[in-house]
Amino acid sequence: MCVLSLALGTRAISPGAVFTALTDPSAPFAETIRGLRVPRTLTALAAGAALGLAGTVMQGVTRNPLADPGLLGVNAGASLLVVTAITWLGISSPVGFVWFAFAGAAVATVVVYAIASRATGGATPFRLALAGAAVTAAGTSLVTLVLLTSRTTLDQYRFWSVGSLANPDTGSLLTVLPFLLVGAALALGSGRTMNALALGEDAAVGLGQDLRRAKLVMGTAIVLLCGSATALAGPIAFVGLTVAHIARRLAGGDYRWVLPLAATLGPALLLGADVLGRLVARPGELEAGIVVAFLGAPVMIGLVRRGQVPVR
């Protein structure tokens, strides 16, 4: 997928010419490859890995097959604070969006979990899904309200909001990368705990797991991963949802294998969607977030038809 991402676009470039451009700054197409397609590919790799891991961790910790950053309110919270930063603080650089995306993701995660936990029985998968839907609806409505009052904000926000890799920013990638790596390390180190949680919380406690500490660690991983991905590529939904199910189908139920596989499948899916978006609308392109939605929606429909979605 990386090779395809570097070779295909408005103009197709042969793999040999791609390699020459990577090694020789004066070669033909070097400016296109090194200045545009390499940053775009690296951004898709980082955002895809973050979304794949975040979706898998969310599904594991909530035991909810529909858990996904775009479906549990995390992306909506990040988007709301990004819009706020553009409108009232005058921030127009993607590097500046990073901190607000992190803060919005963290606030949304806390709010969803707090709402779901208030009822008797705690934060069940069904309550988390309902709370996430409510927070997503509220966040999206507030974003729309702000955009309707500011044409300038709308112009800056609209391309980012659909989940696009068309304008990669190396500065944003370098700023986000340390947080993404920490989140990935926390997620990959939680495989054993998630295996215990899959047996139920009582069984996990009986196996010696400190659930409060474990959920804090995994919650921190989710915030760092979702905030990083949203800051880099916008609020892309369905990557985490789709990748988590594919990874479990391929690797079985052991999260020590599922998590690394999700970190590989996420970039592959996002890069594939980005490449497909470049090809289907030449000489323009279709944003990766839209292509992923076309791919991810059938997965959700399939889950509902197979009865894997909790109904109570």
Q: Establish if 274 belongs to a structural domain.
A: yes
How many other C-beta atoms are found inside a 10 Å radius of the C-beta of residue 308?
A: 11
pLDDT (0 to 100) of residue 311: 39
**Between 166 and 141, residue with greater pLDDT:** 141
Mean pLDDT, residues 123-138 taken together? 82
Rg over alpha carbons for the chain, rounded to the nearest Å, is 19
Query: What's the chain's length in residues?
Result: 312
Distance CA 76, CA 139 (A): 5
pLDDT (0 to 100) of residue 186: 96
Q: Establish if 311 belongs to a structural domain.
A: no
Which of 57-61, 114-118, 217-221, 274-278 bottoms out in mean pLDDT, i.e. has the lowest?
A: 114-118
Q: pLDDT band at 312, cuts 50/70/90?
A: very low
Q: Establish if 129 belongs to a structural domain.
A: yes
If asked whether residues 16 and 147 sit together in one domain, one would say no
**Between 44 and 162, residue with greater pLDDT:** 44
Chain segment 176-229, per-residue pLDDT in tens: 899 999 999 999 999 999 999 888 878 888 888 887 888 889 989 998 998 888
If asked whether residues 46 and 27 sit together in one domain, one would say no
pLDDT (0 to 100) of residue 310: 44
Residue 187: CATH number of its domain: 1.10.3470.10
**Between 117 and 55, residue with greater pLDDT:** 55
If asked whether residues 46 and 195 sit together in one domain, one would say yes
If asked whether residues 158 and 207 sit together in one domain, one would say yes
Task: Write the CA distances from 88 to 99, 118, 183, 288, integer angstroms.
Answer: 15, 33, 29, 28
Distance CA 200, CA 203 (A): 5
Q: How much is the mean pLDDT over the chain?
A: 85
Res 174 pLDDT > 80: yes
If asked whether residues 230 and 256 sit together in one domain, one would say yes
Distance CA 272, CA 101 (A): 25
Distance CA 106, CA 42 (A): 25
Q: Establish if 26 belongs to a structural domain.
A: yes
If asked whether residues 137 and 178 sit together in one domain, one would say yes
If asked whether residues 157 and 86 sit together in one domain, one would say yes
pLDDT (0 to 100) of residue 49: 96
If asked whether residues 97 and 214 sit together in one domain, one would say yes
Which domain does 23 fall in, by range? 1-34
If asked whether residues 54 and 7 sit together in one domain, one would say no
Res 304 pLDDT > 80: no
**Between 189 and 102, residue with greater pLDDT:** 189
If asked whether residues 73 and 123 sit together in one domain, one would say yes
Q: Establish if 310 belongs to a structural domain.
A: no
pLDDT (0 to 100) of residue 270: 94
Distance CA 172, CA 58 (A): 25
pLDDT (0 to 100) of residue 201: 79
Q: pLDDT band at 94, cuts 50/70/90?
A: low
Domain count, the chain: 2
Task: Write the CA distances from 191 to 26, 139, 214, 310, integer angstroms.
Answer: 46, 31, 11, 23
What is the pTM assigned to this prediction?
0.88
Q: Establish if 312 belongs to a structural domain.
A: no
Mean pLDDT, residues 273-286 taken together? 86
Res 99 pLDDT > 90: no
Q: Establish if 127 belongs to a structural domain.
A: yes
**279 is written with which tokens?**
């090809």
Q: Establish if 182 belongs to a structural domain.
A: yes
If asked whether residues 17 and 45 sit together in one domain, one would say no
**Between 200 and 22, residue with greater pLDDT:** 22
Q: What percent of the chain has pLDDT over 70?
A: 92
Reduce the DSSP state of residue 74 to 3 states and report it.
helix
Nearest CA-CA partner of 228 in 284, 177, 274, 277: 177
Nearest CA-CA partner of 55 in 212, 237, 257: 237
Mean pLDDT, residues 3-15 taken together? 90
Maximal CA-CA distance, the chain: 66
Task: Write the CA distances from 205 to 57, 118, 201, integer angstroms.
Answer: 19, 21, 6
pLDDT (0 to 100) of residue 126: 72
Mean pLDDT, residues 36-55 taken together? 94
What sign does the dihedral 86-91-93-98 (CA atoms) show? negative
Which of 61-65, 94-98, 111-115, 276-280 bottoms out in mean pLDDT, i.e. has the lowest?
A: 94-98
If asked whether residues 30 and 58 sit together in one domain, one would say no
